Amino acid sequence: MGKNTVRGKDLRKMGFPKTNAVAIALGLAERNLKRQSKEDKLDLLAAILANPEDFLADETWSKLAEALMPDEDELPEISLKEEVTEYAIFGSKHIQDEALAQMDIAMKLPVAKSGALMPDAHAGYGLPIGGVLAAENAVIPYAVGMDIGCRMSLSVFAINPSLLKGHKARLQNLLHEHTRFGMGSEFRKPGDHEILSRSEFDEIELLRNLRDKARRQLGSSGSGNHFVEFGTVEIKEISPELRLEPGAYVGLLSHSGSRGLGASIAGHYAALARSLCPLPRQASHLAWLDLDTQEGQEYWLGMTLAGDYASACHDEIHRKLSRALGESPLVRVENHHNFAWKEELPDGSTAIVHRKGATPAAQGVLGIIPGSMVHPGYIVRGKGSARSLNSASHGAGRAMSRSRARNNITRHALKEQLKAHGVSLIGGGLDEAPMAYKDIDLVMSQQRKLVDVLGSFQPRIVRMDDA
């Protein structure tokens, strides 16, 4: 067997049941994924394990999907509440019905205590993107999301923004040299970081074989809407939290998450939650793990590790590019989403607050809310809104699904948008075209009670996956 061969023990460690599903997966992978790396094969199989119903109509993978569908006779189905627990909605006029319906189902969970829907919300798996859900002593892997700890990170440099025009070719080359994008992307000479010494890699069985992959992917970025970009930072006013004088600066902004490490953790524990917590079909992606159980504690530790690993990846990106620029940042602002926090609710009780595509916005907390590859993002300070559970949007939010964007937006139209806004794009697909997103300024206007705007970031040189 070669180094790219997937073995049965790999699948069992991932959480595959001890059924014929393992043999089916091995056979299908051998026939259909011959040219892919072992990591890519495992990422795809983890996705099928987490969501087998999404592959039932797939000509290649339907047999495996059928074998992985939960046995409804194993455990009695858990009933949902008859009524939707009340939750706040921000910008409801511009949120699609599908996202609202998903949030309604989430708020019928027996463990649901409170919730909120952000103005950038759109449909996702289980909890909608832009959904905030407070649960009682339970963590819901799909209310966290597949890309655990995905985050924004901004470095601000004391450089005149004229550099972005005068040295555009150099900055493009720096992005080519020091960034990697897409599924399975790795560095030939991986760096090192204290995150790789964490004890969880030794203590949790699932993680024992993931350390080497995490090392190779350290400092890389995902596909889709993940990016690293140079742009102009404009600061409006002095604030004690940001500590920057008003004016214009060069900024380096990155958006990415926990890579294959987070995907493996999410896929394994999402499937485990569904086997332990059988819910009606419409709510099956919202299966939870009780935090008083070993499984719940393992996921919590794995989720925390993945979030810290995502931060370490941004550390590497900003360290490499700062060194290449020959500059140290004046300030760094970072925030994450796709995570769960143990927090106190307005009524004084404690809950697990899931923010799936929502920015933490407690009183005085800094964050970055991006627009699109051509539209500005905003540096914000949280106001600590109890109605939003101390949350705000994590971006502009999609106005079109990825498939609709690919089918309706032309490459010419994208080039015209880039030209009109003076943006240079490296990589990037039509599904990430600015027309596929909501109006960021409209979204910001719908959350004035949630955040203060301290400054803006205008993209100029954008690097994304080579779609």
Cα distance between residue 222 and residue 186, in whole Å: 11
pLDDT of the residue at 1: 55
Flag whether pLDDT at 452 surpasses 60.
Answer: yes
Spacing of C-alpha 280 from chain mean position = 26
The amino acid sitting at 377 is G
Q: Which two tokens stand for residue 291?
A: 């935090």
User: Any idea which residue has 């555009």 for tokens?
Assistant: 168
Which residues are CB-neighbours of 87 under 8 A, at least 6 positions away?
103, 107, 114, 115, 116, 117
Flag whether pLDDT at 40 surpasses 90.
Answer: no
- In 178-245, at which residue ranges do the beta strands (DSSP E only) sit? 227-235
Contact 362, 391 (CB under 8 A): no
pLDDT of the residue at 47: 86
Cα distance between residue 434 and residue 371, in whole Å: 8
Q: What is the pLDDT of residues 149-205, one digit of tens each?
A: 999 999 999 999 999 999 999 999 999 999 999 887 888 777 789 999 999 999 999
Contact 117, 415 (CB under 8 A): no
Q: What is the pLDDT of residues 286-296, one digit of tens each?
A: 999 999 999 99
pLDDT of the residue at 69: 84
Q: What is the pLDDT of residues 358-403, one digit of tens each?
A: 999 999 999 999 999 999 999 999 999 999 999 999 999 999 999 9
8-state DSSP, 80:
P
Contact 133, 353 (CB under 8 A): yes
Cα distance between residue 30 and residue 24, in whole Å: 10
367 forms beta bridges with 380
Cα distance between residue 251 and residue 247, in whole Å: 12
Q: Which of 8-12, 307-311, 410-414 has the lowest mean pLDDT?
A: 8-12
Which residues are CB-neighbours of 112 under 8 A, at least 6 positions away?
81, 85, 106, 133, 134, 135, 136
Cα distance between residue 449 and residue 273, in whole Å: 36
User: Any idea which residue has 């759109």 for tokens?
Assistant: 122
Cα distance between residue 444 and residue 397, in whole Å: 11
**Section 346-350 average pLDDT:** 93
User: Any idea which residue has 């599903």 for tokens?
Assistant: 21
pLDDT of the residue at 190: 75
Q: Which domains, ranges and CATH numbers included, belong to the chain?
A: 8-68 (no CATH), 151-463 (3.90.1860.10)
Contact 47, 68 (CB under 8 A): no
- pLDDT band, residue 71 (cuts 50/70/90): low
Contact 440, 416 (CB under 8 A): no
Mean pLDDT computed over every residue of the chain: 93
**Section 329-342 average pLDDT:** 97
Range ranked top by mean pLDDT from 40-44, 281-285, 368-372: 368-372
Neighbours of 101 (CB within 10 A): 13
Flag whether pLDDT at 74 surpasses 70.
Answer: no
Spacing of C-alpha 370 from chain mean position = 14
Global pTM reads 0.85
pLDDT of the residue at 221: 95
250 forms beta bridges with 157, 232
